[in-house]
Amino acid sequence: MNDLPMVVKYRPVPIKKLLRKMKDEVSIALDMAFYSLVYEDKDVAQEVEKIDVDVDNDFNLLALQLMVAARDPEDAEKLLPALRLGMSMDLATEAASDMATTVLKGYKVPKVVKAALEITEEIYVKLVVGEKLVGIKVKELKERYGLIDVIVLRRGGVMIVNPPEEVELELGDVIVIRGDREDVKKLMKDIDMELVVPEEKFTEKEKEVAFRIALLKNMTEIAFDLAVYSMLYQDPRAAEEVLEIESFMDEESAKLEMEIIKNTAESQEIYTSTVLVRSLEKMTDAATSMAQMALVENEVHPILKEVAEEGEERILVLQVVKECNMTVGQLEEMADGTALAIYLDGIWIPLPNASTELKKGMKVLLKVFNEEPEFPECIQVL
């Protein structure tokens, strides 16, 4: 958490540029905070703290820009969603900072947090660049291996957060990547390395708790993406989904905290685990704060419309209204998109397996990157 004295100085920066920058920083801060917990990496945790300070400054500047931009009370009302968006992103990076602070203080990270990495489909891996990766650009890793992002690059004692796509890897660089487990395995195989995850042996109870932590993390990311989308596009249906996720998170996080306290002996491990759970809940609360703006009839200011129009992705809420004889993977291929989560029988399943069959009554949150695709009659866009 940033406790430094607040210094605000106006400088002309486009509001939409600030909002896009803050959104990118929120995403990278969460990735880095979770990685720093799993690998107890104080250097990365320190960078999360720096991002928190940076987002604080960006939010203060955003508030000033909005004050200057508002021409009258009616215009100020239209800009209110932009202020709420900035506040929510500031709160989200504060939550990531809370997690990173436990690492900086040297508190012991419990095995269940490490196990959460081992069982989730999206994993974090640290690599030292050898000859087979030298000269490859950051963007080429994604082009070759699919869902892989370089979140941190260390070179010559300097840490580069979210390195530009055109940066070429050099011998001895240390990179932290986040990606789909199978895509990461493919990369590791090509460079003659094996995927190594924390080696502790976990009990069934620890695996269960770890699965629930991983579920909360995934649902937090989905809620945040969905909330930003609902606000920018004033989509009340998407906003309602965020509120449903928050209700699930509130109930599950309370149960999970009690389970952790009951089954953890060391006080430091209890503290670190509960900070993680509460930080994820705080981020979901921030998402809810944004989504609530989409449930109120409020004309969107042209600035926010520009942010939405320049965005490369949209999130669709789909309902399977009858049997489809189709899998999640086939839906993703048809729509050129990614299924963020499915909802069936009161249960949210984030990042569903491609082989999962679509069933009547199932709800699908689908991220698409082009024009809204056409769907068969068995699927409706809500």
Count CB-CB contacts under 10 A for residue 33.
29
**pLDDT of res. 252:** 92
- Spans of all domains in the chain: 120-190, 312-381
**pLDDT of res. 7:** 66
Token pair recorded at residue 338: 């990614």
How far, CA to CA in Å, does 316 sit from each of 38, 218, 293, 371, 372?
Answer: 32, 18, 18, 11, 8
**pLDDT of res. 5:** 60
**pLDDT of res. 195:** 67
Backbone dihedral angles phi then psi of residue 181, each to the nearest 5 degrees:
-55, -45
**pLDDT of res. 2:** 57
The predicted-structure confidence for 285-300, as pLDDT tens digits, reads as follows 999 999 998 888 766 6
pLDDT averaged per 10 residues, the chain (length 382)? 64 83 86 88 92 92 87 83 90 95 93 75 83 90 82 87 90 88 85 66 79 86 85 82 90 90 87 93 93 79 69 78 90 86 80 87 83 85 82
* CA 38 – CA 124 distance, rounded (Å): 9
* CA 349 – CA 178 distance, rounded (Å): 20
Q: Residue 300 in contact with residue 234, Cβ under 8 Å?
A: yes
State the architecture of 120-190 in CATH terms: 2-Layer Sandwich (3.30)
**CATH superfamily label, 312-381:** Regulator of K+ conductance, C-terminal domain (3.30.70.1450)
Tell me whether domains 120-190 and 312-381 share a fold.
yes
**pLDDT of res. 235:** 80
The predicted-structure confidence for 70-121, as pLDDT tens digits, reads as follows 888 888 888 888 899 899 999 999 999 999 999 999 999 888 887 776 667 7
**pLDDT of res. 312:** 60
Q: Structure pTM? A: 0.81
DSSP sequence for 28-93: HHHHHHHHHHHHT-HHHHHHHHHHHHHHHHHHHHHHHHHHHH--SHHHHHHHHHHHHHHHHHHHHH
Q: Residue 242 in contact with residue 343, Cβ under 8 Å?
A: no
